Structure 1
Amino acid sequence: MSEIRAISDESLAQAVEIVRDGGLIVIPTDTVYGVACDPRNIEAIRKVFAAKQRPKYKSLQVLLPSIESMEKLHLDLPVPLNRLSAMFMPGAFSPIAV
């Protein structure tokens, strides 16, 4: 099922249910659309890779409210990103490969 919904309390509640049930939602941002799922659900993550036709070797972004919340997902930032994140977060931070 796909459906375009205006942002409202009802559509946000529906989005939460879809994600909790292992589904995907598409979220508009200022520049692109993001495909979102529950990062703790491996089947949902597989759906994102399939929907985007993304190779498995290319990682996905995980947006979190804090560095501490990474522990719940058993994620670690490699050096030096762990030090940079401690200095600059919370706030917008995008590592750029040069």
Structure 2
Amino acid sequence: MQKEIKNAIEVLKNGGLILYPTDTVWGIGCDATNPEAVKKVYDLKERVDSKALICLVADDRMLKKYVKEIPFAALNILEVTDKPTTIIYDEAQNLAQNLIAEDGTIAIRIPDDEFCYQLSRKLNGALVSTSANISGQPTPKSYKEIDAAILKGVDYVVNLHHEKICAKPSSIIKLSNSGLVKIIRE
């Protein structure tokens, strides 16, 4: 695993894209602070950049780097949830501007996955994590289902868990600083 992390970090730090297994599905990733890399993700997915992407961070300390104010409810949700949960936070900061939604929000997940944790730690920052499919196509449930255009379009494919059948995408909850809670995806 350490060799895969080292290889992926080298690509990420050079503005490249990786294809990697997450705690949910196979993801396309890049350094979430690099606007050129984020643009490459949108281009590869053929996705309009007004549709925001999800980021992964290693832990709640790292989360504080990218969200101005973390609602108290967020930490409670993260503590009690037993499945991967992405939270949309108000007032994103220190990320590529083209990653932040028009309303200033950002979707971030703290994955319960050793590879993703180590990758974010070694990068010392947030990773983009968007499903490995062309926009509008079904999310691949395994490495074998990933479209050839995606495989060719990334700079590095992490050589781990190719046989794993992935779970469904994470739940998404929007938590605004005003206290509003909205379930986006269960």
* TM-score normalised by L of structure 1: 0.69
Deviation for aligned residue 1:9? 2.6
For structure 2, list consecutive stretches of 5 or more residues without a partner in the other structure: 86-170, 174-182
Q: Secondary structure at the match of 2:55?
A: coil
Match of 2:58 among 46, 53, 65: 65
Q: Secondary structure at the residue paired with 2:50?
A: coil
1:30 and 1:39 map into 2 onto residues whose CA distance is 18
Q: What is the match of residue 71 of structure 2?
A: 82
Q: Which amino acid aligns with 2:7?
A: Q
Report the Cα distance in structure 1 between the residues aligned to 2:29 and 2:37, rounded to whole angstroms.
Answer: 9
> Segments of 4+ in structure 1 off by > 6 A?
none
Q: What corresponds to 2:116 in structure 1?
A: none
Q: Name the amino acid aligned to 1:82.
A: P
Instruction: Kindly report which structure 2 residues correspond to 1:1-98, keeping only aligned pairs within 5 A, or say none.
Output: 8-29=1-22, 32-73=25-66, 75-76=67-68, 82-90=71-79, 92-93=84-85, 94=171, 95=173, 96-97=183-184
Q: CA deviation at 1:34?
A: 0.4
User: Quick one: which amino acid aligns to residue 19 of structure 1?
Assistant: L
d(CA) in 1 for partners of 2:48 and 2:29? 17
- TM-score, with length taken from structure 2: 0.40
Aligned residue type for 1:97: I
Q: Secondary structure at the match of 1:39?
A: coil
Q: How far is the alpha carbon of 1:71 from its aligned partner?
A: 3.7
Residue 16 (structure 1) shift: 0.7
Relative to structure 1, the CA distance from residue 72 to residue 30 in structure 2 (aligned partners, 3 Å threshold; closer, same or farther) is closer
Q: Secondary structure at the match of 1:89?
A: helix
Shift of 1:19: 0.4
Structure number with higher relative contact order (C-alpha < 8 Å, ≥ 6 residues apart): 2
In proportion to residue count, which structure has more helix?
Answer: 1
Higher strand share: 2
Once the 2 structures are TM-superposed, how far is the Cα of residue 88 of structure 1 from its aligned partner?
1.9
The letter of the residue matching 2:53 is L
